[in-house]
Amino acid sequence: MANPSLLMRKTLKSLRNPSILASLSTSHSRRLSSAAPAPSPAQTQADGGPSSSSFEFSGGGGGDKADDAIYVRAPSPKPASASDPSSVTMPMAFMTGSIVGKRFYKQVTTREADDGNGWTVMLDYRTLKTPSKRPLKLPTLALAKAIAAEWEYQQTDGIRPFTMPLMKLACTALERVPLTRPKIIEHLMKKFNQDLVFCRAPEDNVLTSDVHDRQVEKIDPLLDWLKSEFGFQPVLYSSFFGGKQDEGLIKAIENLLKNTDDCELAAIDAMAAAAHSLVIALGIFRGRLQIEGAIELIRLEEDFQVDRWGLVEGGHDLDIADLKVQISSAAVFLALSRRI
């Protein structure tokens, strides 16, 4: 079994690798291009058919394990039949850190969708597909190139889904959000009253007074922004379970979520889950918070304890790395999905 610490460090390192960023702006770098050239007859024959052959993500039996398999159409010049299956199956789990088979493609490209509305990713002239077996149609070329970079940087000995957070978010935005939008918003609003930024450490306790002072310094500016943005004063609680917020504020936040597009809602939901705070996610969404500032607020209390008692290797460091990956990938996905 792979060392989880090593895998997480590699994941974080891959997001900071400047060569990945370079590949997004240089079409010839790492064989990424804005358009996939038409395959030659020899290539078409070698591939076993036209470019409609595809790499597919398969939805399973529902729930959190819906994306548990991927399918690659087997090259076959003849029509598929019951005795001659047209696909092979490999296990797929984005969240477990498992390695899926071996890299089966050589070239990754991007091209405009056939209907001219969006961009798709190609693996050796095979269209990358969503769990419902539709082409992965992305709203911007920048996002398509970023996801193509995730596929291009896979190792030859295996595909590592945990290094493809943008791919996961794209599948969520294109497939799950349209079908479960009301439930996603309902879940976010259900957690809103217990938001991290509304829970304040007691000021009159010697064990928590220093934490309270740090919260006042770091979190109060975000609460002031929340009041100016939506017109309602947030209510703070010393209870870990929070308390009821003003109905006007709740309604304003809910209306904002209802007016988001699918990519925006997917990114907000991912950031809120990682941060335990919808307010912090909305701060990033509205441009009030940058990634590092958001992470500082999320980890404020824990970092205070680390400063006092020290960092536990293999514990705190992995938590920090995981949080940076989740917040950074969602923020990058949000930015790249926006049409400018």
* pLDDT over threshold 50, residue 62: no
Is the same domain home to 147 and 215?
Answer: no
Write down which residue in 161, 188, 217 finishes a domain: 161
Is the same domain home to 188 and 298?
Answer: yes
Q: Does 63 map to a domain? A: yes
C-beta separation of 199 from 300 below 8 A: no
* Percent of the chain predicted with pLDDT > 70: 71
Is the same domain home to 313 and 198?
Answer: yes
User: Any idea which of 44-58, 187-201, 265-279 has the lowest mean pLDDT?
Assistant: 44-58
How many domains is the chain built from? Answer: 2
Write down which residue in 128, 161, 194 finishes a domain: 161
| Tokens of residue 234, six digits | 């947030």
pLDDT for the residue 18: 45
State the CATH number of the domain containing residue 66.
3.30.2180.10
> Which tens digits make up the pLDDT trace of 87-112?
222 334 443 557 777 888 889 999 99
> Which tens digits make up the pLDDT trace of 121-154?
998 888 888 777 777 899 999 999 999 999 999 9
* pLDDT over threshold 50, residue 33: no
Is the same domain home to 201 and 322?
Answer: yes
Domain range for 23 is 19-161
Is the same domain home to 37 and 154?
Answer: yes
Is the same domain home to 209 and 332?
Answer: yes
Distance CA 84, CA 80 (A): 6
- Residue 93, classified by CB atoms within 10 Å of its CB into exposed (0-12), middle (13-18) or buried (19+), is middle
Q: How many CA atoms lie within 13 A of 51 on its CB side?
A: 18
The separation between the first and the last C-alpha atoms of the chain, rounded to the nearest angstrom, is 44
* pLDDT over threshold 80, residue 11: no
* pLDDT over threshold 50, residue 307: yes
> Which tens digits make up the pLDDT trace of 154-210?
988 888 888 999 999 999 999 899 999 999 999 999 999 999 999 998 888 877 888
- Candidates 290, 198, 184, 189; CA nearest to 241 is 198
State the CATH number of the domain containing residue 234.
1.10.3580.10
Q: Where are the beta strands (DSSP E) in the chain?
A: 54-59, 67-73, 87-91, 108-112, 119-123, 126-128
Residue 140 CB partners (closer than 8 Å, separation 6+): 119, 336, 337, 338, 339
Q: Does 14 map to a domain? A: no
CA distances from 82 to 49, 86, 87, 99, 133 (A): 19, 9, 11, 29, 20
Q: Does 2 map to a domain? A: no
pLDDT band (50, 70, 90) for residue 23: very low
pLDDT for the residue 267: 98
Residue 282 CB partners (closer than 8 Å, separation 6+): 253, 256, 268, 288
Q: Does 6 map to a domain? A: no
pLDDT for the residue 249: 97
